[in-house]
């Protein structure tokens, strides 16, 4: 059998394209990995390209591992020369060799999200920022966005010079980055930004990598941000032998900085690019695929394509609407149990997808009640657990003593009698004398006013130096075992009366296993390389899709996965799409949500069930939402289970027994003529005077709050839940006043006056 015999016509065309830019538009389940790996094999075996000159980049370790395995299997001998890595792994390896040319030490530490939060907390304290006025998470998000745009602190300050509203962001960014530089640390966004900066500042380094990587392939190109785009553009250089593979319909990471225009404008940036569309789907049935096509066709910002399949239509897409979210969870889990008992599916064949992590709780409770094994993708990452973070902080301090954050974490863990005051004196001494914190600890006896605590601090420093000697002589595993045995860390956990003590000990044991495997697989591996691997592990990389248990996850986490049976739950306006999207002035936000719905639908191979609830408890309030507009975009002939009929007119009379429930469910809020859809939903109906035998008119309910409020724009008001805030806008609507308030702690809210019950201050 020939190398490319198993490819279809379009895959074959993509695999045999050699020189010049190539854009492969690969729809969901269209065999893009097969096309990519066979193209690499074709370049090596048929064209004679040296494997050393080929680079393949993707986003997750899982995807990189699968690609590596396939390339090795198809190419055989010599395949190890192909550079198959994630963006972040590539941008660790390159700076690790050359970042000293732009002022860093090559043994830099990588800060994860928790590390960045700790640094920002210290920045806020130093700059005396009030977290009630500006949130640390908001500043970190702004810094991340700036780095994705390749803006360092100086460029960011220059861009927003004179913008008073950005003053605190500028100050925080400068202080944050100075702290990272002092600690010889890079955060995840820095890995990319600094690699691009290195290439631009050191042309000879860039030229070296351009000579090496003569053929570049980028997977999931629709997810690239501007920094990643600039990186691959620089590497492609004048040759422009760049192949990008992606699907604009699956671009769902705008919140992480992904720029869909990178794929939509590829032909404009790389003139003369060849475009090949992979439209045959090998995953889903025809009905599932037709449903996905019908939904995504409503987007304007996309490249025209229509997936098709040779699989039969088979079962229609199932739609089920329940009265409450609790009933939805109970019925979904009950159906899974029936299918499992009848032998129509293993637990691992079932997946529940939802829009936000918060939606998992009721499903978890239902699984526990029914004794069904399950796993939540998005639960606490193994490496983010307290005990693992502690052990990693020890290893980071041993590896890179410049990391003040790691030193602070473990200097008194387990307890050594080194208090916050002593630590602050050491930190102040370090700052005055231009030292890192560990250096100050090593000479603690010289610190004025530190007293007897100085001996304890110096003992800690000597202990770390001792571990370094063990590392040099015996390796990582023996060092870790010695550390755990001699430091007293495990004894402190055992002696604690915490409920999770045993679980924490087991987690540490599992990490020891992880280190043992690393040493076995990398006999010459260094501690820095181990810490790199750990830092780059994503939550999805840890997801076990083989163990027999139901997987629960957000749609974002499900991208790249597929399951025989999928339940897509919580499909209501206000949930999916969410209120913020519905209320957004930018139509691109709704298009991104629709792409997310498309991704969700195309995860199903054989059976897709879409569910919604008429009422759902959210943030302590019962909300009543309409079925998601995305469900309504699916043609009725593809669905089993009817969508709710159109709403009755509000002046229609109802039987008195049914009136309160129907009135509550069909309140006018959320209609297009009532301002932002999904506005404030009442927890209970206002009282309506009724004759014992008189039918209720909903028009009466809807007109209760026509009276103008006693506050106006600019007034300070108080809400029973959100606290105090300032009225930003008021707008008269047919049935009520719509009020926009910026609350001091809860942020901006849009609500209706009758139910907000705002009190003027």
Active site residues: 32-33, 219-220, 250, 603
Q: Where are the alpha helices (DSSP H) in 43-112?
A: 61-75, 87-98
Cα–Cα distance for residue pair 553/557, rounded to 1 Å = 6
Cα–Cα distance for residue pair 274/298, rounded to 1 Å = 26
Identify the burial level of 535 via C-beta atoms within 10 angstroms of its C-beta, where 0-12 means exposed, 13-18 middle and 19 or more buried: buried
**Packing angle, helices 386-399 and 453-474, rounded to 10:** 80
676: Cα within 13 Å, side-chain hemisphere:
23
Task: Give residue for tokens 């974002």.
Answer: 556
Determine if residue 150 is left, alpha or beta; phi over 0 gives left, psi from -120 to 50 gives alpha, anything else beta: left
Task: Give residue for tokens 């009282």.
Answer: 687
Do 546 and 587 contact (CB within 8 A), yes or no? Answer: no
Identify the burial level of 269 via C-beta atoms within 10 angstroms of its C-beta, where 0-12 means exposed, 13-18 middle and 19 or more buried: middle
Do 730 and 740 contact (CB within 8 A), yes or no? Answer: yes
Helix, strand, coil share of the chain (percent; to 5) = 50, 15, 35
Do 202 and 98 contact (CB within 8 A), yes or no? Answer: yes
Query: Measured in whole angstroms, how far is the alpha carbon of residue 401 from the centre of its chain?
Result: 31
Per-residue DSSP letter, 643: P
CA nearest neighbour of 235 among 276, 263, 205: 205
- Strand ranges for 619-743 from DSSP E: 621-624, 639-640, 653-654, 696-697, 716-719, 723-732, 737-743
Cα-only R_g, the chain: 29
Cα–Cα distance for residue pair 133/745, rounded to 1 Å = 8
Q: What is the 3-state secondary structure (H, E, C) of 575-606?
A: ECCEHHHHHCCCHHHHHHHHHHHHHHHCCEEE
Backbone angles phi, psi at 291, to 5 degrees: -65, -45
Q: How many CB atoms lie within 10 A of CB 341?
A: 8
The H or E element that residue 255 is part of is none
Cα–Cα distance for residue pair 522/266, rounded to 1 Å = 39
Query: Measured in whole angstroms, how far is the alpha carbon of residue 375 from the centre of its chain?
Result: 18
CA nearest neighbour of 156 among 198, 129, 147, 122: 147
DSSP one-letter string for 355-411: SSGGGHHHHHHHHHHHT--EEETTS--GGGSHHHHHHHHHHHHHH-TT-HHHHHHHT
**SS3 (DSSP) at 24:** strand
Strands 185-187 and 109-111: parallel
Distances (CA, A) of 278 to 13, 184, 302: 10, 45, 15
Strands 653-654 and 639-640: unpaired
Do 621 and 579 contact (CB within 8 A), yes or no? Answer: no
Do 718 and 724 contact (CB within 8 A), yes or no? Answer: yes
- Strand ranges for 421-486 from DSSP E: none
């Amino acid at each position: 059998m020939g190398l490319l015999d198993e490819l279809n016509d379009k895959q074959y065309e993509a695999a045999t394209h050699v020189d010049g830019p190539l854009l492969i538009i690969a729809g969901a389940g269209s065999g893009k990995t097969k096309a990519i790996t066979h193209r690499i094999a074709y370049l090596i075996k048929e064209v004679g390209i040296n494997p050393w000159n080929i680079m393949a980049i993707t986003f997750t370790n899982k995807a990189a591992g699968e690609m590596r395995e396939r390339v090795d299997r198809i190419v055989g001998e010599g395949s190890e020369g192909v550079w198959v890595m994630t963006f972040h792994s590539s941008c660790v390896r390159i700076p690790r060799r050359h970042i000293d040319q732009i002022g860093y030490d090559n043994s830099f530490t990588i800060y994860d999200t928790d590390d960045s939060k700790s640094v920002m907390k210290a920045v806020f304290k130093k700059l005396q920022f009030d977290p009630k006025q500006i949130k640390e998470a908001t500043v970190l998000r702004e810094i991340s966005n700036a780095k994705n745009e390749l803006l360092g602190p100086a460029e960011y300050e220059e861009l927003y010079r004179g913008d008073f509203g950005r003053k605190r962001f500028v100050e925080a960014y400068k202080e944050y980055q100075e702290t990272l530089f002092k600690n010889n640390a890079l955060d995840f966004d820095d890995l990319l930004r600094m690699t691009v900066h290195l290439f631009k500042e050191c042309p000879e380094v860039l030229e070296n990598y351009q000579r090496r990587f003569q053929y570049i392939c980028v997977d999931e190109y629709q997810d690239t941000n501007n920094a990643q785009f600039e990186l691959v553009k620089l590497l492609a250089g004048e040759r422009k032998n760049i192949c990008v593979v992606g699907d604009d319909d699956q671009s769902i990471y705008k919140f992480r900085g992904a720029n869909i225009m990178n794929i939509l404008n590829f032909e404009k940036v790389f003139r003369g690019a060849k475009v090949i569309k992979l439209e045959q789907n090998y995953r889903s049935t025809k009905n599932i695929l037709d449903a996905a096509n019908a939904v995504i066709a409503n987007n304007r910002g996309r490249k025209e394509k229509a997936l098709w399949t040779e699989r039969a239509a088979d079962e229609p897409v199932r739609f089920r609407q329940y009265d409450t979210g609790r009933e939805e969870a109970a019925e979904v889990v009950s159906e899974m149990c029936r299918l499992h008992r009848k032998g129509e599916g293993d637990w691992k064949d079932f997946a529940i997808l939802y829009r936000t992590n918060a939606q998992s709780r009721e499903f978890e409770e239902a699984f526990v009640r029914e004794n069904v094994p399950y796993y939540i993708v998005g639960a606490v990452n193994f490496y983010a657990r307290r005990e693992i973070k502690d052990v990693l902080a020890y290893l980071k301090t041993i590896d890179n003593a410049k990391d003040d954050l790691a030193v602070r974490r473990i200097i008194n863990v387990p307890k050594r009698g080194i208090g916050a005051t002593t630590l602050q004196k050491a930190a102040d001494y370090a700052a005055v004398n231009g030292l890192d914190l560990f250096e100050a600890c090593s000479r603690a006896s010289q610190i004025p006013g530190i007293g007897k605590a100085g001996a304890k601090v110096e003992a800690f420093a000597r202990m770390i130096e001792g571990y370094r000697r063990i590392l040099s002589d015996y390796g990582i595993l023996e060092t870790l075992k010695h550390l755990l045995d001699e430091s007293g860390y495990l004894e402190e956990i055992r002696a604690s009366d915490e409920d999770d003590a045993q679980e924490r000990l087991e987690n540490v044991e599992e990490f020891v296993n992880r280190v043992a495997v690393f040493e076995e697989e990398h006999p010459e591996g260094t501690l820095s390389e181990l810490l790199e691997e750990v830092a780059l592990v994503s939550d999805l990389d840890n997801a076990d899709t083989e163990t027999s248990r139901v997987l629960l996850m957000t749609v974002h986490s499900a991208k790249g996965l597929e399951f025989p049976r999928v339940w897509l739950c919580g499909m209501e306006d206000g949930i999916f799409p969410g209120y913020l999207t519905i209320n957004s002035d930018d139509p691109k936000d709704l298009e991104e949500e629709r792409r997310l719905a498309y991704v969700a639908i195309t995860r199903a191979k054989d059976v897709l069930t879409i569910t919604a609830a008429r009422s759902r408890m959210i943030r302590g309030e019962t909300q009543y939402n309409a079925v998601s507009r995305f469900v309504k975009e699916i043609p009725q002939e593809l669905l089993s289970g009817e969508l709710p009929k159109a709403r009755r007119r509000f002046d229609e009379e109802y039987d008195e027994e049914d009136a309160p429930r129907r009135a509550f469910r069909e309140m006018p809020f959320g209609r297009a003529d009532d301002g932002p859809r999904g506005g404030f939903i009442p927890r209970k109906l206002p009282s309506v005077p009724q004759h014992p035998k008189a039918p209720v008119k909903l028009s009466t309910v809807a007109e209760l709050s026509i009276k103008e409020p006693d506050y106006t724009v600019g007034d300070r008001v108080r809400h029973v839940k959100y606290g105090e805030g300032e009225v930003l806008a008021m707008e008269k609507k047919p049935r009520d006043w719509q009020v926009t308030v910026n609350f001091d702690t809860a942020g901006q809210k849009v609500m209706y006056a009758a139910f907000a019950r705002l009190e003027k201050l």
